[in-house]
């Protein structure tokens, strides 16, 4: 029995609603951060709408605030977002085969960790109306949260704005630590990565390496050693659990149909 | 802030965010077979976030002591599995409060 366009779309909307609500506080923090760093309100909203990602746009915006070079900003953002290839690859196995190029280009925009997770949990083929419905709510949630945070930031006192500087890092810790706690490979990878970035930062001969490249080098070494020491065979990070609302955790990357 | 610079940077960011998402959907029909590449991609977010957080978190506020207090609070709450928003808010609050006494 074929579902109609509207039925599929509405079902997608319904499934996307919890993601949309979960995005608001996170993007709110992004809006606060961006504006307290000197980004205009409209641009913070534009960043959220055009990037629709957490770690990538947080890191990229941080580099913009620091006045980093284009190559560094682009490469850092790209490295962080490379993981989406894996999710999109997995989605291709489930997409409606007859989906047109234009529709594929639109669907690609909405591949976030959460949207991917929800979509990959569905049974059967993923249609365009379903995916549109699923994507549209989170996009609205993400941009609305950013707008609210950006507007409120302008009204905050200075010392509170300074304290906001730690928000992003606090979120990063909240994403990584629960996984690291349960997964020894992740703990080791994070430790290697942090060790490398510290060496590059504090050892004088590496002083000419900029902050963005430090992160890239540390990531490649950390994840690279991790992949060699702890290759994932069953498509799941050892001991990883799903963590709803944690945007970066590539949880539930299961391929089963 | 130079607006032209920021706009170009944001557009570049958007492009390199979009490409990894859309490319497989448009081009690939097969799955990555190498378990090493798959594992590498899977571990990337954690390595990135680790490298982004430390040691920069200690310089994220006007004072290294307030940042240290905020970090400790964030670590404890995150270890207990609190949500992103709770951890971030508690860290901000800690920095703000300790900042009042320094």
- pLDDT: which is higher, B28 or A188: A188
Banded pLDDT at A249 (limits 50, 70, 90): very low
Contact A26 B9 (CB under 8 A): no
What DSSP line would sit under A49-110, residue for residue? HHH--SHHHHHHHHHHHHT--HHHHHHHHHHHHTHHHHHHHHHHTTB-TT--HHHHHHHHHT
pLDDT for B60 equals 84
Alpha-carbon span B98 to A234, nearest angstrom: 46
Digit-coded pLDDT (tens) for A168-217:
788 789 888 988 999 999 999 999 999 999 999 999 999 888 777 788 89
Percent of chain B at pLDDT > 70 equals: 96
pLDDT for A241 equals 43
Kindly tell me if the per-residue pLDDT of A250 is higher than 60. Answer: no
Cα A146-A149-A155 angle, rounded to 5 deg: 145
Percent of chain B at pLDDT > 90 equals: 54
Which ipTM score applies to this complex? 0.84
Distance from CA of A15 to the nearest CA of B (A): 21
Percent of chain A at pLDDT > 70 equals: 89
Digit-coded pLDDT (tens) for A33-84:
899 889 999 999 999 999 999 888 988 998 999 899 999 999 989 988 887 8
- pLDDT: which is higher, A59 or B68: B68
Average pLDDT in the A223-229 region? Answer: 95
Nearest to A195 by CA among B60, B55, B40: B55
pLDDT for A236 equals 65
Question: Which chain B residue has the Cα nearest residue A116?
Answer: B21
Q: What does the block give as tokens for A187? A: 């703990």
Q: Is A4 exposed, middle or buried (0-12, 13-18, 19+ CB in 10 A)?
A: exposed
Kindly tell me if the per-residue pLDDT of B79 is higher than 50. Answer: yes
pLDDT for A144 equals 97
Kindly tell me if the per-residue pLDDT of A245 is higher than 60. Answer: no
- State the DSSP code for A206: G
pLDDT for A216 equals 81
pLDDT for A158 equals 77
Contact A111 B25 (CB under 8 A): yes
Nearest to B20 by CA among A13, A56, A137, A199: A56
- pLDDT: which is higher, B38 or B95: B95
Kindly tell me if the per-residue pLDDT of A243 is higher than 70. Answer: no
Contact A189 B21 (CB under 8 A): no
pLDDT for B29 equals 62
Task: Choose the mutation target among B15, B22, B45 for the interface with A, i.e. most A CBs under 10 Å.
Answer: B45
Residue with tokens 């990602």: A53
Helix A70-81 with A211-229: angle, nearest 10 deg: 30
Residues from chain A that touch B87, judged by Cβ atoms under 8 A, are 170-171, 173-174
Q: Is A126 helix (H, G, I), strand (E, B) or coil?
A: strand
Contact B26 A101 (CB under 8 A): yes
Task: Choose the mutation target among A36, A108, A172 for the interface with B, i.e. most B CBs under 10 Å.
Answer: A172
Q: Is A233 helix (H, G, I), strand (E, B) or coil?
A: coil
């Amino acid at each position: 029995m074929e579902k109609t366009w509207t039925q599929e779309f509405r079902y997608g909307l319904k499934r996307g609603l919890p993601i949309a609500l979960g995005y608001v506080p996170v993007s709110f923090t992004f809006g606060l951060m961006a504006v307290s760093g000197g980004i205009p309100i409209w641009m913070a909203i534009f960043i959220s709408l055009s990037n629709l990602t957490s770690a990538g746009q947080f890191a990229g915006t941080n580099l913009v605030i620091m006045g980093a070079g284009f190559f560094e900003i682009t490469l850092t953002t790209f490295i962080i977002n490379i993981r989406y290839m894996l999710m999109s690859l997995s989605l291709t196995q489930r997409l409606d085969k007859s989906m047109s190029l234009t529709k594929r280009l639109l669907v690609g925009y909405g591949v976030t960790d959460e949207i991917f997770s929800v979509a990959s949990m569905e049974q059967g083929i993923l249609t365009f109306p379903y995916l549109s419905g699923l994507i549209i709510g989170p996009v609205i949630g993400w941009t609305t949260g950013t707008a609210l945070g950006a507007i409120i930031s302008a009204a905050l006192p200075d010392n509170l704005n300074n304290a906001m500087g730690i928000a992003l890092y606090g979120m990063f810790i909240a994403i990584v630590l629960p996984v690291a706690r349960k997964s020894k490979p992740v703990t080791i990878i994070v430790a290697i990565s942090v060790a490398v970035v510290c060496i590059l930062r504090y050892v004088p001969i590496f002083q000419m390496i900029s902050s963005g490249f430090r992160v890239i080098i540390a990531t490649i070494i950390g994840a690279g050693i991790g992949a060699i020491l702890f290759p994932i065979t069953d498509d799941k990070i050892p001991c990883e659990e799903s963590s709803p609302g944690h945007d970066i955790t590539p949880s539930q990357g299961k391929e089963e149909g | 802030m130079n607006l032209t610079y920021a706009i170009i940077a944001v557009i570049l960011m958007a492009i390199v965010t979009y490409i990894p998402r859309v490319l497989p959907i448009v081009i690939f029909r097969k799955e990555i077979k190498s378990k090493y590449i798959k594992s590498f991609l899977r571990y990337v977010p954690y390595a990135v976030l680790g490298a982004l957080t430390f040691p920069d978190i200690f310089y994220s506020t006007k004072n290294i002591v307030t940042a240290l207090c905020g970090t400790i609070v964030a670590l404890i709450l995150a270890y207990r599995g609190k949500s992103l928003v709770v951890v971030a808010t508690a860290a901000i609050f800690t920095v703000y409060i300790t900042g009042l006494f320094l």
